């Protein structure tokens, strides 16, 4: 399989978890390189549903080594809860199957509290974050005041560093009129988590370097999606990490010349959860998908906003990620649609735009220009071979791949492993 970077080509929730799980069959190692437990990756194995937040989706394939890389922000209590939740479902997570980078940054309760407080202060300008403390934790990392896993698991060093960070953040919380964080109970909780997680912690940069030198196949599991990228997304309506393919290198320590290809995952339509522009948003397709019980967030349960496929956006995603191959998921979501719309350009103040404008306010005022495709109006979820898909469906999929500018390689017609076709 070689070393593959998998990214979301839209606004997150493209079905990355399902595709990662399918591709993990050929991988020795799966690495998360950015984001935190804001992610929610859904994988079905038979009838059992797993939702992974911090642990790479590769954990569900026995024998795979999963890595939480240095670019991730790690909520210790969230991770311990996730390990325990997997154990209840029969998946044992051990230091042989999961390793954690020493230099990942740690999320604290003040980060979550500040995340929430900032959202309240923004009022109707709010981002609609997951309130997991992601932005404030990456903020501390950039400001060089964050605590890393190596500080967290160092029992002699941690209490003083913790107390120092708590004191400063409590001053900020008090100034905002929020409740300060309690020292003793939180320190006790973090100490308990550190004792649980210490055996998992290692130098993942060296470990990955040695593994790739031995010829291991590594899959880099992207979280969030291209338009949530801190640099390339619809700023400020973004998350706080590089969700695009470059983040796989900086977030793991594996250099660009060790990467072999980039797979972009996208839905056959578009969704977004949280605030910010979504040019192709449409009530008809939203009602249809929500009516089918689909498109509710895996992390927060919020209703996802839905729209038609936006080829301007995915073309932009192909450009900034260097996408070689496309995996298109949720094709079955369009099974009942008579005429399917695809946005091929935007209109802004009388001009035609073929790229996503950098300014989110401009993007919010763009009108989508649609091309219409005839639907296939027949169920696809039982189909297992590309040749057996309705001709209109194949035409639609090849067209959106061509408009995106990458090769169609995987088609998904349901959440299960076997509802996957390779071209
Ligand atoms: P991720 O964050 O990119 O991993 O995606 P999520 O798991 O948050 O959301 C994708 C949803 O689509 C999950 O509920 C998946 O089980 C589901 N899913 C993935 N591929 C397909 C598909 O081809 N058809 C259907 N019906 N559901 C799918
Ligand atoms: P996966 O990996 C979809 C969105 C939030 C919000 C913005 C910022 O499952 O695709 P944050 O909590 O990161 O500061 O929120 O980003 N967001 C996601 N949307 N899928 C995700 O992850 C997301 N992670 C964050 O809704 O709009
Ligand atoms: Mg998700």
The yes-or-no verdict on residue 285 having pLDDT over 90 is: yes
The ligand that comes nearest to the alpha carbon of residue 273 is 2
User: Which parts of 41-108 fold into alpha helices (H)?
Assistant: 76-88
350 Cα to the center of ligand 3, angstroms:
36
- What pLDDT does 191 receive? 98
Q: Is the CB of 252 under 6 A from ligand 1?
A: no
- Token pair listed for 196: 């649980």
Catalytic residue among 21, 28, 41, 332: 41
Q: Report whether 264 contacts 7 (CB < 8 A).
A: yes
- What pLDDT does 298 receive? 84
Residue 172, classified by CB atoms within 10 Å of its CB into exposed (0-12), middle (13-18) or buried (19+), is middle
Q: Report whether 357 contacts 363 (CB < 8 A).
A: yes
Q: Report whether 158 contacts 190 (CB < 8 A).
A: yes
Mean pLDDT in residue range 358-375: 97
pTM for the model stands at: 0.97
- What pLDDT does 381 receive? 98
- What pLDDT does 196 receive? 98
Q: How far apart are CA 342 and CA 328, in angstroms?
A: 14
Element (H, E) at 283: helix 283-291
Percent of the chain at pLDDT > 70 equals 100
DSSP structure class, residue 149: H
The yes-or-no verdict on residue 301 having pLDDT over 90 is: no
- What pLDDT does 300 receive? 84
Mean pLDDT in residue range 412-423: 97
- What pLDDT does 212 receive? 95
The yes-or-no verdict on residue 299 having pLDDT over 90 is: no
The residue to mutate among 6, 15, 35, 393, having the most atoms of ligand 1 within 8 angstroms of its beta carbon, is 15
- Measured from the Cα of 414, ligand 1's closest atom is 24
167 Cα to the center of ligand 3, angstroms:
34
Q: Print burial letters for 179-194: b (CB count within 10 Å at least 16), e (below 16).
A: eebeeeebeeebeebb
- What pLDDT does 63 receive? 95
Length of the chain: 423
Nearest CA residue ID for atom 21, ligand 2: 224
Q: What is the CATH number of domain 3-103+201-262?
A: 3.40.440.10
Mean pLDDT in residue range 8-35: 97
> Looking at domain 105-197, does it have CATH number 1.10.300.10?
yes
Percent of the chain at pLDDT > 90 equals 98
Mean pLDDT in residue range 92-106: 98
**Pairing outcome for strands 325-329 and 261-267:** parallel
For the question of residue 41 being annotated catalytic, the response is yes
Q: Is the CB of 228 under 6 A from ligand 2?
A: yes
DSSP structure class, residue 408: E
Q: Report whether 397 contacts 372 (CB < 8 A).
A: no
Q: Is the CB of 201 under 6 A from ligand 2?
A: no
Q: Is the CB of 221 under 6 A from ligand 1?
A: no
Nearest CA residue ID for atom 13, ligand 2: 239
Q: Is the CB of 277 under 6 A from ligand 1?
A: no
| Arithmetic mean of pLDDT over the chain | 97
Q: Which CATH number fits domain 266-422: 3.40.50.300, 3.90.550.10, 3.90.170.10, 3.90.226.10?
A: 3.90.170.10
Nearest CA residue ID for atom 27, ligand 2: 274
174-222 residue pLDDT tens = 999 999 999 999 999 999 999 999 999 999 999 999 999 999 999 999 9
Sign of the dihedral through C-alpha 397, 398, 399, 401: positive
Mean pLDDT in residue range 224-238: 98
For the question of residue 13 being annotated catalytic, the response is yes
Q: Is the CB of 129 under 6 A from ligand 2?
A: yes
- What pLDDT does 148 receive? 98
116-151 residue pLDDT tens = 999 999 999 999 999 999 999 999 999 999 999 999
* Domain boundary assignment for the chain: 3-103+201-262, 105-197, 266-422
């Amino acid at each position: 399989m070689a070393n593959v970077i998998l990214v979301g080509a839209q606004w997150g929730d493209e079905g990355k978890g399902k595709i990662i799980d399918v591709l993990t069959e050929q991988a020795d190692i799966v690495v998360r390189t950015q984001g935190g437990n804001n992610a929610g990756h859904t994988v079905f194995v038979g009838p059992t549903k797993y939702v992974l937040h911090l642990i790479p989706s590769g954990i569900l394939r026995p024998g795979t080594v999963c890595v939480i890389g240095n670019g991730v922000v790690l909520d210790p209590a969230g991770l311990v809860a996730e390990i325990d939740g997997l154990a209840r479902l029969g998946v044992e997570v051990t230091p042989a199957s999961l390793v954690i980078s020493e230099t990942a940054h740690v999320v604290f309760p003040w980060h979550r509290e500040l995340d929430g407080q900032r959202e309240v202060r923004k009022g109707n300008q709010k981002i609609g974050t997951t309130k997991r403390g992601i932005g404030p934790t990456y903020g501390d990392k950039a400001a060089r005041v964050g605590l890393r896993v190596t500080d967290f698991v160092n029992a002699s060093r941690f209490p003083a560093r913790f107390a120092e960070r708590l004191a400063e953040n409590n001053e900020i919380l008090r100034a905002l009129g929020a409740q300060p964080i309690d020292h003793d109970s939180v320190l006790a909780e973090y100490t308990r988590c550190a004792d649980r997680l210490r055996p998992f912690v290692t130098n993942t940069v060296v470990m990955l370097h040695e593994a790739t030198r031995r010829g291991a196949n590594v899959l880099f599991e992207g979280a969030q999606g291209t338009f949530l990228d801190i640099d390339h997304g619809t700023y400020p309506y973004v998350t706080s990490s590089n969700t695009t393919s470059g983040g796989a290198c900086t977030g793991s320590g594996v250099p660009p010349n060790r990467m072999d290809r980039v797979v972009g995952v996208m839905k056959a339509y578009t969704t977004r959860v949280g605030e910010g522009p979504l040019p192709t948003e449409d009530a008809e397709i939203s009602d249809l998908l929500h009516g089918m019980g689909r498109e509710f967030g895996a992390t927060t349960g919020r209703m996802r906003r839905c729209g038609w496929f936006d080829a301007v956006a995915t073309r932009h995603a192909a450009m900034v990620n260097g996408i070689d191959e496309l995996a298109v998921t949720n094709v079955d979501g369009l099974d009942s649609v008579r005429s399917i719309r695809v946005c091929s350009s935007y209109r802004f103040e009388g001009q035609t735009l073929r790229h996503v404008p950098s300014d989110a306010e401009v993007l919010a005022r763009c009108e989508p220009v649609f091309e219409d495709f005839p639907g296939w109006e027949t169920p696809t979820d039982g189909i297992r071979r590309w040749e057996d898909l309705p001709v209109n469906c194949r035409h639609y999929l090849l067209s959106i791949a061509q408009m995106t500018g990458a090769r169609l390689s995987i088609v998904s017609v349901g959440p299960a492993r076997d509802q996957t076709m390779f071209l």
